[in-house]
Amino acid sequence: GGVTTIIEMPISVPPPHSPEIVERRMNVADKEVVVDIAFFGAAGTDCLEDIIPCAESGIVAFKTFLHEAPPGRKEEFIGLTAPNTGDQYELMEKVAQTGVMIGFHAENNDMINKNIIILRSEGKISPIYHGRSRPPVAEIETTSKILLFAEKTGAKVEICHITTPEVVELVNEAKCKGVYAIAETCPHYLFLNENALNKVGVFAKVNPPLRSEEERQGMWERVNDGSIDIIGSDHAPYTKEEKERGSEDIFVP
């Protein structure tokens, strides 16, 4: 029993976007970790030239965020973000050459930023509005694009931490076209809904956000019918002080 394998996501300072950084993290793990461990590499706009060498360094997959680095956290996202559509396609072309899978945090950056501006202007900054700023359509639109790019480039993709059944259906449709696509969700999207934001406030703030009860139940249906390939933790801890920064304004990162 217990944890027998760890696969590290590339959220570190700096992210593992080059062979040298990957090697350093592997060396640390060799000295400290007693279970099996593997590493995701970072793939992003500002380090496109490192994708192929990074793939050759022993990583098991890449991870990319399709939004800008959150304010104040730029160092954590060097070589890890690709908010521009043209860069996203080029990135996937390069990843396809390696044969390594790439996981995506699939939310529409422009839509989220605009929604936050509108909600703040209306004084809607309490926790429940976190989900309103990142509606299902922001996830659906971006997933559709990534799956199209995967079909055209031959890249192997994972859509990470899916929150809504419609995204799962998109992945299933892509699979039917021969696209290598994996659907992942997380326990919090199966056991909690957006009402948790009213109950515990900032401590229920996750990205993508918790959804409606209807969508939560729909996700369980996709788990039970086998449409979900992976249930992952998306473990990304913050200190109590870091979470509480958004107590007065949920959009404070």
Cα 52 to Cα 64: distance, rounded to the nearest angstrom: 15
Residues of the chain falling short of pLDDT 70: 1
Which pLDDT score is estimated for 184? 98
Which pLDDT score is estimated for 12? 87
- The answer to whether 15 touches 63, Cβ cutoff 8 Å, is no
Which pLDDT score is estimated for 253? 86
CATH tag for 5-244 (out of 3.90.25.10, 3.20.20.140, 3.40.440.10, 2.40.128.690): 3.20.20.140
Count CB-CB contacts under 10 A for residue 233. 10
Which pLDDT score is estimated for 73? 86
Cα 174 to Cα 154: distance, rounded to the nearest angstrom: 12
Strands lying side by side in the sheet with 230-231? 5-8, 36-42, 61-65, 101-105, 157-159, 181-185, 230-231
Query: What is the domain partition of the chain in residue ranges?
Result: 5-244
For tokens 């200190």, what's the residue? 239
Which pLDDT score is estimated for 237? 85
Buried-state track 15-41, b at ≥16 Cβ within 10 A, e below 16: bbbbbebbeebbeeeeeeeeeeeebbb
Minimal CA–CA distance to 16: which of 65, 70, 76? Answer: 76
Cα 239 to Cα 66: distance, rounded to the nearest angstrom: 25
Minimal CA–CA distance to 197: which of 247, 163, 138? Answer: 247
Which pLDDT score is estimated for 248? 95
Which pLDDT score is estimated for 236? 85
Whether the predicted model's global pTM rises above the 0.85 cut: yes
DSSP 61-90: EEEEESSPPPTT-GGGGTTTB--SHHHHHH
Which pLDDT score is estimated for 128? 98
- The answer to whether 26 touches 39, Cβ cutoff 8 Å, is yes
- The answer to whether 159 touches 181, Cβ cutoff 8 Å, is yes
Query: How far apart, in Å, are the Cα atoms of 186 and each of 112, 146, 245?
Result: 21, 20, 25
